[in-house]
Amino acid sequence: MADAVSAVGGAEFRGAVTVREVGPTGMITLRGDLGSDAVAKAVKAATGLGAVPGEREIGLDGDKGAAWMSPDELLILVPYAEAEKAVTAMEKAPGKAHALVVNVSDARAHFRISGAGVREVLAKGAPVDLSPDAFGAGTIRRSRVGQVAAAFWLSDTDCFDLVCFRSVGEYMFTWLSTAGAKDSLPGYLS
Amino acid sequence: MLILTCPNCGVSGEETEFTPGGEAHLKRFGPGSDDEAFTGYLFERKNPKGVHFERWRHAYGCGKWFHAARCTVTLEVFGTYSAQTTEPPAHIIDAIKTKRPDWEGYE
């Protein structure tokens, strides 16, 4: 199989914050009844996490994770090379219960934005309260950034991970680079 | 600015995060119905000045549909509720009546 090529080729921008494309990331959509044992088993099989994330939560364990996307949808994060294996494990786990498992790794772009002003960079384009009191670790928010849909969460202090559709990956990188330009932050949230 | 709270995911977002879906609680008249009823279903919409019941979709968020009751004059939102209802629930009606005592009521 050909090597996976990410949306903007692992580009990096350094300004007031650092924007970096993480590169190919394994992402799996899991749809089903989130309260069911079947989904809990599938999450455990793919990520090793003992709990299904609650509303607007994300559970992370190293390079694996599970994020709440909607009342019937989770996003499973695994290393790119392990995605197919995880899909197979997840399809087996629920048994006869209904669940949908799809590998969407190649349909997405994954960015990491880090630096002291990272909350302000995202706040320029997302209609979300990004103050530390309102948006803490373990929260995932699906919204828009600039003009495109995206989901983001805190992966570390002053470090956001952001995923969007691959088709708008270049737009997202350009937007983040513009919003994160040097000397462009208002200094309101920090 | 219109701020809606999605009942499916609990997010309070401003209107650019949502997509409007027109009047709520329409009854469909399809094959077998008479022309007048079909015309009404297709074209006739309530448009009072004030309280509206609308469908909205959390397009940039969880992607789910829901209903909202709001005032088109002040943009005040009386409440949002499940899309799986055929008429406004009692607590929404009560909330509107409390704030708009002379509202003529639903239908």
Kindly provide the ipTM of the predicted complex, given to two decimals.
Answer: 0.88
CATH code where residue B80 lies: 3.30.2270.10
Structural contact between residues B23 and B53, judged by C-beta atoms closer than 8 angstroms:
yes
pLDDT of residue B91 exceeding 90, the answer is: yes
Number of domains in chain B: 1
The domain of B12 spans: 3-26+39-99
Shortest distance between the Cα of A143 and any Cα of chain B, in A, equals: 5
> What's the CA gap between A150 and A109, in Å, rounded?
10
The shortest CB-CB distance from B16 to any of A56, A73, A144 is to: A144
pLDDT for A79-108, tens place per residue? 999 999 999 999 998 888 888 999 999 999
Terminal CA-CA length for chain B: 27
Q: Do A149 and B9 touch (CB under 8 A)?
A: no
Per residue in A160-172, pLDDT tens? 999 999 999 999 9
Task: Please say whether the beta carbons of B11 and B58 come within 8 A.
Answer: yes
Question: Domain A12-179 - what CATH class?
Answer: alpha beta
Share of chain B above pLDDT 90, in %: 93
Delimit the domains of chain A by residue range. 12-179
Are the beta carbons of A71 and B8 closer than 8 angstroms? yes
> What tokens appear for B42 in the block?
């297709």
With a cut of 70, say whether residue A1 has pLDDT above it.
no
Q: Is residue B104 part of a domain?
A: no
- Is A55 close to B10, i.e. CB distance below 8 A? yes
A28 has a pLDDT exceeding 70:
yes
Select from A144, A145, A152, A168 the residue whose CB has the most chain B CBs within 10 Å, as the one to mutate to test that interface.
A144
Kindly tell me the burial class for residue A176, based on how many C-beta atoms sit within 10 Å of its own C-beta (0-12, 13-18, 19 or more).
buried
Strands A18-21 and A12-14, sheet pairing: antiparallel
Name the 3-class secondary structure at B86.
coil
Q: CB contact, 8 Å: A70 with chain B?
A: yes
pLDDT digits (tens, 9 = 90+) for A31-74: 999 999 999 999 999 999 999 999 999 999 999 999 999 999 99
